[in-house]
Amino acid sequence: MYIGILGAWIAVFLTLSILSYLYEDNVFYKLAEHIFVGVSAAHWATIAFWNQLQPNLFGRLWPQAEIATLEGFQKFWYGIYHVLHVIFGKIFPEAKVDGVIYRGIGDQPQNLSYLIALLLGVFMLFRLIPKIGWLSRWSLAYVVGMAAGLRLYGYMSSDVVGQIHATMLPLWTGDLASSINNIILIVGVLSGLFYFFFSVEHKGALKVVSKIGIYYLMIYFGASFGFAVMGRISLLIGRFNDLILYSGKQYGFATPILLVIMIVVLVLTTRKKKPEEEI
């Protein structure tokens, strides 16, 4: 990841700006936050375009083909492509190899059913025209229906049936220690599941069961928290290590210089604020 000296300075500045949030909300953080929002919104749009729309939509409508061999409808269809090429040359490229003209993108098989996807996508854009904006609901409906159908099976299979299958353990394995462990696990799953009964009042013996369930859930939450602490600290170490790297001579002492400047500015701005508050 060689980003040059200018890159290193910007990276260090942005890193320190975000870290300055820990002190308080300040100009540096606000600036970094807004730059971040701007850059990332454009980044994801760019990625979606070049990694999704271009190869998967246009690439499926017009896979690369040798123009001279086309006939009938396809000839007309690639004619449209040519028009698009004339307007947006970068997105709809044409190649000429040894005098043979190729039009189209990539080598996926042609699939004109993607015209429906294109249509649904365009419906989304109708939002900009209030009168026919409601058509976008059709696209939303497609997305929601797809999500419901896809996830229903996925979760039922792996999270419900799969986990039940994994929990079918012998209560007695022939060895005391592992038997106890299995029983601990099974009691946990059953009582934890019971905690999620909504239509039964949790009282008396049932309350005890759901209480045991909560304890198990809490052990799980504690453990996840512990693991997360570990992962998060590792990340911070990585960031600090980069900052130490960029304080070297080959990057023009970016870290120490920027750090000092930022501290000075922060101290000055907070000092200026305080008298105002006193008045």
Site membership for other proteins, residue 186 (CB under 8 A): yes
Instruction: Pull the structure tokens for residue 266.
Output: 């922060």
DSSP string, 104-166: SSSSPPP-TTHHHHHHHHHHHHGGGSGGGGGGHHHHHHHHHHHHHHHHHHHIIIIIIIHHHHH
> What is the rounded distance in angstroms from the CA atom of residue 79 to the CA atom of residue 88?
14
Q: Which is nearer to other proteins, 15 or 67 (CB)?
A: 15
* Residue 279: strand, helix, or coil: coil
Shortest approach of other proteins to residue 273 CB, angstroms? Answer: 15
* 259 lies in the site for other proteins, by CB under 8 A: no
**Binding of residue 202 to other proteins (CB under 8 A):** yes
Query: Does 1 sit near other proteins (CB under 8 A)?
Result: yes
Asked if 246 and 254 count as a contact pair (C-beta separation under 8 A), the reply is: yes
Contact 59, 93 (CB under 8 A): no
CB of 192 to other proteins, least distance (A): 2
Q: Which of 68, 72, 98, 165 touches other proteins (CB under 8 A)?
A: 165
102 binding other proteins? (CB under 8 A) = no
Q: Figure out which of the listed residues 76, 100, 170, 256 binds other proteins, where binding follows CB under 8 A.
A: 170
Phi, psi of 24 (to 5 degrees): -170, 170
Stretch that binds other proteins, among 68-76, 119-127, 256-264, 270-278 (CB under 8 A): 119-127
Q: Does 86 bind other proteins (CB under 8 A)?
A: no
Please say which residue, 43 or 273, places its beta carbon nearer to other proteins: 43
